[in-house]
Amino acid sequence: MSLLATPFYDGNTGSFSYVLVEPDSGTCAVIDPVLDFCSDSGRTGTTQADRIVEFVKANELIVEWLLETHVHADHLSATPYLKTRFVCAQSGIGAGVREVRSLIDPDAPDPERRFDRLFEDGDRIGLGHACGRVIATPGHTPACVSYRFEDLVFVGDALFQPDFGSGRCDFPGGDAAMLYQSVQKLLSLPERTRLFTGHDYGPCGRPVSYLSTVAEQRRANVHFGNGAGEDCFVKMRAARDADLAPPALLVPAVSYNLAGEAGLAAVGG
Ligand SMILES: [Fe+2]
């Protein structure tokens, strides 16, 4: 039976998390789970993550993986919390997290202590009877990876919906030329490949959405469609990033995602 992906949307940060189910074995992977965070009180919460816990319980699933597409700058990750709920699950993130740590917080714990696996490009990920592959897609951050399982690919912030384009490249270690090359890898996949994005904000009042195909992105992505070239993309991205405000949760998110509760305490969370 085919793999099934269920989205969970966090309206506070515009983030999508996913539960990817391999139905024959009843196993699943949780991708980019969100931990609630109140800026005023500095407190975390688990309302969003508990929606995933309830889904897993209701469907009697076994969580094999807790996967991060990158070190998020706009929300706190619920992977540490879900590790306490699903103790047999393995956590994973791209090996580029080492570079993110060295650039942002060299005193943070080694990523090997926070994650069970640090993935390199091409690594395989077993999920029940299915086998996924890691596609390194750096550019938004050095740690960005996409996860491909059959014709489903979870692209994080490398690609947004076609009318919104791509992720910003102005965080430490971000690189627009690198993102351009990463996206070419995604756009070279078979045209029916389904792409699941990490964010959507419902631009111009349209309903939020999470799913596109490679064919749709090739044709209509406002940053990459119709064969837009690398130089053009890099210039566009630099101009656009210069106008973007920092994410509201930048400091607590990056601190927590690299160093956990200690990181949050260090920034007064
Ligand atoms: Fe991001």
Residue 268 lies in a domain: no
Residue 29, pLDDT > 70, answer yes
pLDDT of residue 228: 79
Residue 92 CB-half CA count within 13 A: 25
Residue 28 lies in a domain: yes
Tell me, in angstroms, the distance from the centre of ligand 1 to residue 82's CA: 20
Tell me, in angstroms, the distance from the centre of ligand 1 to residue 171's CA: 9
Tell me, in angstroms, the distance from the centre of ligand 1 to residue 71's CA: 7
The pLDDT tens digits of the residues spanning 172-222 come to: 999 999 999 999 999 999 999 999 999 999 999 999 999 999 999 999 999
- Write the CATH number for 102: 3.60.15.10
Instruction: Please answer whether residues 52 and 35 qualify as being in contact, where contact means their C-beta atoms are separated by less than 8 angstroms.
Output: no
Residues around the ion ligand 1 (C-beta < 5 A) = 72, 157
Tell me, in angstroms, the distance from the centre of ligand 1 to residue 69's CA: 8
Residue 233, pLDDT > 80, answer yes
Tell me, in angstroms, the distance from the centre of ligand 1 to residue 142's CA: 11
Where are the alpha helices (H) located in the chain, listed in sequence order? 47-58, 79-85, 97-104, 111-114, 176-187, 214-220, 230-243, 250-266
Tell me, in angstroms, the distance from the centre of ligand 1 to residue 176's CA: 14
Residue 43, pLDDT > 80, answer yes
pLDDT of residue 188: 97
Q: What is the rounded average pLDDT of the residues 228-234?
A: 93
Q: What percent of the chain has pLDDT over 90?
A: 92
Tell me, in angstroms, the distance from the centre of ligand 1 to residue 73's CA: 6
Domain that holds residue 67: 4-260
Tell me, in angstroms, the distance from the centre of ligand 1 to residue 185's CA: 19
Question: Per-residue confidence at 225, pLDDT binned at 50, 70, 90?
Answer: confident
Q: What percent of the chain has pLDDT over 70?
A: 99
Q: What is the rounded average pLDDT of the residues 105-116?
A: 94
pLDDT of residue 183: 98
**pTM (2 decimals)?**
0.96
Question: Per-residue confidence at 263, pLDDT binned at 50, 70, 90?
Answer: confident
The pLDDT tens digits of the residues spanning 45-69 come to: 999 999 999 999 999 999 999 999 9
Residue 130 lies in a domain: yes
Please state, rounded to an integer, the average pLDDT across all residues of the chain: 95
Tell me, in angstroms, the distance from the centre of ligand 1 to residue 24's CA: 32
Number of domains in the chain: 1
Give the single-character DSSP code of 199: B
Tell me, in angstroms, the distance from the centre of ligand 1 to residue 268's CA: 22
Residue 217 lies in a domain: yes
Which of 130-134, 190-194, 261-265 has the least mean pLDDT? 261-265
Residue 266 lies in a domain: no
pLDDT of residue 1: 65
Residue 269, pLDDT > 70, answer no
Residue 12 lies in a domain: yes
Residue 50 lies in a domain: yes
pLDDT of residue 238: 96
Tell me, in angstroms, the distance from the centre of ligand 1 to residue 32's CA: 10
Residue 20 lies in a domain: yes
Q: How far is CA 62 from CA 31, 86, 131, 168, in A?
A: 14, 8, 16, 35
